[in-house]
Amino acid sequence: METAKIKELVSRMTLEEKASLCSGLDFWHTKGVERLGIPSEMVSDGPHGLRKQDDKADHLGINDSIQAVCFPAGCATASSFNRELVTKLGETLGEECQAENVSTILGPAMNIKRSPLCGRNFEYYSEDPLVSTEMAGALVHGVQSKHIGTSPKHFMANNQEYHRLTSSSEMDERTMREIYLASFEGMVKKEKPWTIMNAYNKLNGTYLCENKEMLTDVLRREWGFDGYVMTDWGAMNDRVEALKAGCNLEMPSCEGATDAEIVAAVQDGTLDESVLDKSCEEYLNVIFKYEENRDKNAVFQREKDH
């Protein structure tokens, strides 16, 4: 959808409707606004392939998941050093998402491996930022060639399990630029991922979901990212400050609690409504990118099935 049309759509939304787009509907779905034709969409995990659970399932996998191909994890695919192979893997994942009406696959995971005790090392690509950004970029390219979004994660410096939700990664500018940001930079600039998932941890004392330097100054202004930023599941700290910093979507559902905080902040003047409008525009740009290609995906699936 054209930028002007998205701006016009946002102008027709109530304050409450705009705030509602800033958090999830449930564990795996985004919210829609039915009266304006804004759809609710599904996102799903993908460390070993597509992991789509039914509506009652949670992130622990207690309930059933759909049957899907189990592909090698990031640690294995990166060891191939084969961009073409990983691109093909991405294309295949994109086709599986098409078949299951999943708009965005939550990956690739591309933090730098720094500790052997990190529980997410199996899905992270490498200790080396060049290997990480090149291999992750190949996967993003493959998935998005099928009109399915990706959400590279966890942005950034979330490299340990100990106090993973609250720890602060302390580093100087050179370390940040040459190691941790370098893992994401080439991928973002070249492949233009539809979304980015930020991390649980703090960076030099500031939670990543509230880190304007990373989410706005670096990601958007320096690298040209034009999609939306979502939290890791349960990573939100201060919703209003996160919105100001450039975090568009809180996942999963907040059951309306932080939506109300956004509304109250606009009403009392602590949040400029133009910040909320801009966030909604960035979010809707991705939502309608998927919607406009949904028919193409359906035709592809019918042809493949026959």
Active site residues: 232
Letter string b/e over residues 239-278, b meaning 16 or more CB atoms within 10 A of that residue's CB: bbbbbbbbbbbbbbbbeeebbebbbebbeeeebeeebbeb
In sequence order, which residues have a C-beta less than 8 Å from that of residue 49 and are 6 or more positions away? 68, 69, 70, 71, 93, 96
Whether the upstream peptide bond of residue 252 has omega within 30° of 0, thus cis, is yes
In sequence order, which residues have a C-beta less than 8 Å from that of residue 38 and are 6 or more positions away? 9, 21, 32, 284, 287
CA dihedral 50, 51, 56, 57 (to 10 degrees): -170
d(CA 189, CA 117): 31
Chain position carrying tokens 């979901």: 209
Chain position carrying tokens 């040459």: 178
